[in-house]
Amino acid sequence: MTLKKSSSGIGFIEVMTATVIISIACIGLMMGVVHARGELHSLEIKERATEELLNYMEYWKGRIADGKLSPYELAGDPDGDEIFLVGGLGQKNSIEARLYYDFRRLNNFNDYGTTDMTRYELECWIKWGDRFTSPTGRYAGDTGYERRLSTIMTKFEL
């Protein structure tokens, strides 16, 4: 009686095939994680910019309600106020933004007839660039974003 010897182990080809499949899956997972992290960063910056814009608009609404605006303030701000959404001046990973505003005095006519009240249209906007969401290369950091808010303020004469 002779016994048959059979080898039922895992060969080198099977191990290498499994390694390649696992590596491809890991690369796909890592690319997904990097993309998700970039999107979360972008949302965080947009939220921060919106908060700053809302605060800036509330400031100017208060100034209009105060009624003591100078002619310089009524002209708007073409240069903008510099703020930092992330970091600060001179820091490596800071994101700079500029806040702008513009006033426009409206005439006495509206959809419901004429009015004797002084009305202003206040428009505020913020512009920022985010180098983290732009692709690396020659034009890195040139990605620009902007948010705008507008309202009409009425100045009641006492």
Band of pLDDT at residue 10, cut at 50, 70 and 90: confident
**Percent of the chain surpassing pLDDT 90:** 29
How high is the mean pLDDT of the chain?
82
Write out the two tokens for 6: 């059979």
Segment 22-42 shows an average pLDDT of 91
Amino acid type, 49: A
The pTM for the full model equals: 0.71
Which strands make up the sheet holding 95-106, listed edge to edge? 81-86, 95-106, 118-129, 144-155
Q: Residue 28's CB: how many other CB atoms inside 10 A?
A: 10
| H-run or E-run covering 23 | helix 12-66
Q: What residues does 93 pair with on adjacent strands?
A: none
Alpha-carbon dihedral angle through residues 137, 31, 38, 141, given to the nearest 10 degrees:
0
Each residue's pLDDT tens digit, 144-157: 889 999 998 877 66
Amino acid 61: pLDDT: 87
Which of 82, 90, 154, 79 is closest to 121 using CA atoms?
154
Each residue's pLDDT tens digit, 50-91: 999 999 999 988 888 887 878 888 788 888 889 998 888 877
